[in-house]
Amino acid sequence: MSSRMLIIVDVQNDFCEGGALGVDGGVEVARKIAEQVRVHGAGYDRILVSQDWHRGDTDNGGHFAVPPAEPDFSETWPVHCVADTEGAALHPEVAALAAELGERLEIVRKGQGIPSYSVLEGMVVATGEHVAPLIAEAEWERIDVVGLAYDFCVRATAHGAAESGAPVRVLRDLTAAVHPARIPALEEELSSAGVDVIVAPGRTA
């Protein structure tokens, strides 16, 4: 039997305005995602909500820029989303949604000691399932991807899910990018990889 999945990528305090690695528009994305799930969430069989969950005692495999080195915002980054800190917590809009829906929203954590962009590299906290085989071994009618940041973790997650053979859509208005000027090229890349880039159902561009 085919199923539908929604993956909400890294909508955490550190990736929203005011956070250690805040993306312009992150707070609005959090609000829109929560609204979208309240209206359309029943249409998904599984909803995964990922968190970057880095260690605080290492540079996480070179992921954190170590002073005096400066982050290049491409491969190295300021310290962010350290496990069990406020920065790593879900943004309050998504945290409230998680409280409302309980087990319907399944938390996935990734990046514990290593760079990690794709949610497929993570593990579902409650069940211990690794996401990559969870996606590869099921027959998915559709996987929708939303969240932060569009040009890094959303991009990597969409590519990974598409490479597994699943039909994938990115709901572009439920994302925000680190480098907004690169979005047209990013969307061409995603389309070339077989990922549909659309406006979220029920919304207008």
- Kindly report the number of other CB atoms within 10 A of residue 93's CB atom: 19
Question: Radius of gyration (Cα) for the chain, nearest Å?
Answer: 16
Q: 148, 29 in Cβ contact below 8 A?
A: yes
Would you please indicate which residues are annotated as catalytic (active-site) residues?
10, 110, 153
Q: 79, 40 in Cβ contact below 8 A?
A: no
Burial of 68 (C-beta count, 10 Å sphere; 0-12/13-18/19+): exposed
Measured in Å, how far apart are the chain's first and last C-alpha atoms?
A: 32
